[in-house]
């Protein structure tokens, strides 16, 4: 049996430990993750009213950091966050990213205008704080590429395209801006050849790995509740796709995470 200290050290760059699926189980989940070699994780706040709960989870556990913003699917339901509010949150030592924000035209296309307004607010906060922007994009490739590019001309900022499942054109636009792509359990599905091809063609120094737990569990847990420990299964497929050993993939994605999420760096 491999000693835990010899396991590849991975980072789950995006999960949701405050979601009801995990209520009262956060400690167990984090312990299982660490036993699997997942030493750090970023838990993401998707509604600003939930920020105190997400912050409390990060404060209570070593190796757990957090980010905050308004998910695009909730942009029309919640008061628009302000740049100043996000800047204030960024003063917390464990607050390491802005978002998740973005555009979702799959479920909430009717609120496209307010989603775009919210996205630009988050971009301004990322630019001001120097913290990376965390982007959710679904069925909105053209508008997403346009807004990210327009805003980048107004001033540089760091960014990760979380759970990247969009097309090669948006990937190229994001990579051309110096952004990162994050691989989720979807990339480990057998039929996700095109997604794996995007990561294969991306600069290796711009690849992260995540769970998006409790969603998108990779095989062999597909269709079940995801959790941070399962990032090892996505990492295994990612390593295979890139022609790396699991240890090399873990070291690569951890170094990339440290570069982008510098507040959470070892």
Residues annotated within the binding site are: 14, 16, 100, 136, 162, 212
Q: Can you say which residues are annotated as belonging to the binding site for a divalent metal cation?
A: 14, 16, 100, 136, 162, 212
Tell me the C-alpha distance between 200 and 181, whole Å: 11
Q: Are 65 and 42 in contact (CB under 8 A)?
A: yes
* Nearest in space to 191 (alpha carbons), one of 228, 170, 169, 165: 165
Give me the DSSP letters along 51-98: HHHHHHHHHHSTTEEEEE---GGGTTTSPPPPHHHHHHHTTSTTEEEE
Contact between 42 and 66 under an 8 Å Cβ cutoff? The reply is yes
Cβ atoms of residues 202 and 172 within 8 Å: no
């Amino acid at each position: 049996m491999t000693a835990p200290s010899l396991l590849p050290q991975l980072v789950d760059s995006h999960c949701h430990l405050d979601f009801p699926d995990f209520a009262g189980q956060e400690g167990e989940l984090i312990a299982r993750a660490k036993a699997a070699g997942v030493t750090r994780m970023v838990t993401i706040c998707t509604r600003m009213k939930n920020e105190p709960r997400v912050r409390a989870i990060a404060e209570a556990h070593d190796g757990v950091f957090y980010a905050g913003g308004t998910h695009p699917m909730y942009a029309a339901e919640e008061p628009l966050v302000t740049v100043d509010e996000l800047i204030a949150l960024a003063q917390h030592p464990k607050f390491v990213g802005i978002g998740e924000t973005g555009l979702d035209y799959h479920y909430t296309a009717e609120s496209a205008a307010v989603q775009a307004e919210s996205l630009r607010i988050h971009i301004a906060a990322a630019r001001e704080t120097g913290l990376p922007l965390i982007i959710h994009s679904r069925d909105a490739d053209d508008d997403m590429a346009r807004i990210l590019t327009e805003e980048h001309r107004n001033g540089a900022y760091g960014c990760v395209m979380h759970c990247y499942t969009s097309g090669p054109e948006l990937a190229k636009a994001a990579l051309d801006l110096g952004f990162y792509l994050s691989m989720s359990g979807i990339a480990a599905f057998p039929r996700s050849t095109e997604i794996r091809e995007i990561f294969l063609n991306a600069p290796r120094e711009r690849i992260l790995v995540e769970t998006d737990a409790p969603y998108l569990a990779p095989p062999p847990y597909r269709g079940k509740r995801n959790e941070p420990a399962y990032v090892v299964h996505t990492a295994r497929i990612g390593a295979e796709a890139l022609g790396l050993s699991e240890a090399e993939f873990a070291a690569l994605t951890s170094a990339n995470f440290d570069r982008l999420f510098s507040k959470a760096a070892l």
